[in-house]
Amino acid sequence: MQNTATVNYHIASSEPQAFYIDADGETGKLLSPELVPTQVRVQDLGDGEVSVDFVRDSVSFVRNTSSVRDFGGSDDWQKTYDEELKQLLRQQLGAEEVVIFDHTVRTDDPESERQPARNVHSDYSPSGAHQRLKDILGHQRASEWETGHFGFVNIWRPIRCTIQSTPLGFVLPRSLGPKDWVPIELIYPNRTGQIMGLIPNESHEWVYLSKMTPEDVAIFNIYDNRGLASIAHSALDMAGGGNARAPRMSIESRTLVKY
């Protein structure tokens, strides 16, 4: 079944575009480039009419139960959760080595410092991915990884309760072209990165999985040096989704995978 949602596309511009994170030295302050709110049709994968596969579509949904129940407070949970995710990627992707370098907990609440990302994007441009590889591994080890097959893969999971609003949606790579992407700078207080934003195109095929629980995870490709497509994604503001009993809470984990 198809539903309707609002997303925020980027725009095509000859001028540089950027997000400023923790702008003016204020934690959580975000300055955004121009975005275009757009209504899109989204296919619910839960209906079984459409399926996705990581190798073909750059995204897959799997059942995976975590022993971690509380992702807040101290960082005591991270070692356990990291090991669970490494095992998951070995099983699902045949990963030889996994480096987990970031966890982001988001809450769909105006008071939250980290709200769902509502711009249609992928986390790295090709140049941004290779720079981030060096940032994480150092130049020597990064050079070794670059001689083989590696990728950036994200894992997204609801926490605490079933997703009732603002699910995570994906644009199937087969439905977009190279000209749909635009580079967007990420300006941090201590470094600069680069993501790819997506501009509107009526041919885009949007999918999501409704009513995801903490036992459901989305595994999706951000960059692959052997050509697997990067997948655009965004939080979806669903039509009629404003009456949720609990705000969406989720954790997104960013990983480096050596195949």
Higher-pLDDT residue of 35 and 28 is 35
Number of domains in the chain: 1
**Structural domain harbouring 210:** 2-258
Please say if the pLDDT value at position 242 is more than 70: no
**Mean pLDDT estimate for the chain:** 93
Residue 217: band (very low, low, confident or very high) from pLDDT cuts 50, 70, 90: very high
- pLDDT tens, position by position, 73-85: 788 899 999 999 9
Mean pLDDT score, 181-187: 94
Mean pLDDT score, 130-158: 97
pLDDT for the residue 168: 98
What string of DSSP letters covers the chain?
-EEEEEEEE----SS--EEEETGGG-TT-EE----EEEEEEEEEGGGSSS---HHHHSEEEEE---S----SSSSTTHHHHHHHHHHHHHHHH--SEEEEEEEEEEE-STT-SS----B-EES--HHHHHHHHHHHH-HHHHHHHHTS-EEEEEEEEE-SS---SS-EEEE-GGG--GGGEEEEEEE-SS-EEEEEEE---TT--EEE-TT--TTEEEEEEEEETT-PPP-EEEE-EETT-TT-SS--EEEEEEEEEE-
pLDDT for the residue 244: 60
For the entire predicted model, the pTM comes to 0.94
* CATH number of the structural domain spanning residue 49: 2.60.120
Higher-pLDDT residue of 112 and 10 is 10
Please say if the pLDDT value at position 216 is more than 80: yes
Mean pLDDT score, 62-76: 90
pLDDT for the residue 193: 85
Mean pLDDT score, 219-226: 98
